[in-house]
A and B are shown apart, each in its own frame.
Chain A
Amino acid sequence: GAGVSQSPSNKVTEKGKDVELRCDPISGHTALYWYRQSLGQGLEFLIYFQGNSAPDKSGLPSDRFSAERTGGSVSTLTIQRTQQEDSAVYLCASSSVTGDYGYTFGSGTRLTVV
């Protein structure tokens, strides 16, 4: 696609429920990143994909968080048994394989756990 697409744009869920966040990167971009932005904070790295593999998942906060990428394209970030502290904007970004570190970000998914 023309840009990075994320869905849903907003998600309200009850504490303890599981949620899935989707990211559709720019066509042809092999690198995909997930970041989390809490209210008034900077961007916190979660996980990085190169193709379908995740060489760096060091930022996942706990084992309740997982992510996968299939077909070298769409990625899903799953949060199990959501907690209130998981409330944040989850941003996805993609970049080309040529080492361009200028990511293109999606508009994010605003997750609210009540």
Chain B
Amino acid sequence: GQQLNQSPQSMFIQEGEDVSMNCTSSSIFNTWLWYKQDPGEGPVLLIALYKAGELTSNGRLTAQFGITRKDSFLNISASIPSDVGIYFCAGHLPSNTGKLIFGQGTTLQVKP
């Protein structure tokens, strides 16, 4: 089936550093979304992207929908301890019925 390749798998950074993660696919996606999951909770939507080339910010988060529609990245600037968690990319295929395909996740740890 369709897969999203998300990297890196994990990151351990110092507080204040910037973070970048990305997702690629062999398929074209109509939408790209980025979620964050805290322990014991469901994923929470951070940013949604709907057009190729779109660049969207949400506070310290910035995400882009790749021009080829096969990739997306998420940047976090000036990381803080509460950024710790698992970040997932997700995409919606043109032929799908609403189903989202999720990446494997990037686990972020921030050292104060």
CB within 8 Å of B: which residues of A? Answer: 4, 31, 33, 35, 41-45, 48, 50, 55-56, 59, 91, 93, 95, 101-108
Contact = CB atoms under 8 A, between A and B. Distances in A.
B42 interface: yes
Contact of A43 (B44, B88, B98): B88
Contact of A107 (B31, B40, B45, B88): B40
Contacts, number: 60
Given A43-B88, A101-B31, A101-B48, A108 B98 contact: no
Contact of B97 (A56, A93, A103): A56
Contacts of B99: 33, 45, 48, 56, 59
B43 A43 contact: yes
What DSSP secondary structure best describes chain A's contact surface?
strand
19 contacts: A4-B42, A33-B99, A41-B104, A41-B105, A42-B6, A42-B103, A42-B104, A44-B102, A48-B97, A50-B97, A56-B96, A91-B43, A93-B42, A95-B98, A101-B48, A102-B33, A102-B45, A105-B43, A107-B41
Contact of A45 (B44, B100, B105): B100
A43 B97 contact: no
A4 B100 CA distance: 17
A48 B97 CA distance: 8
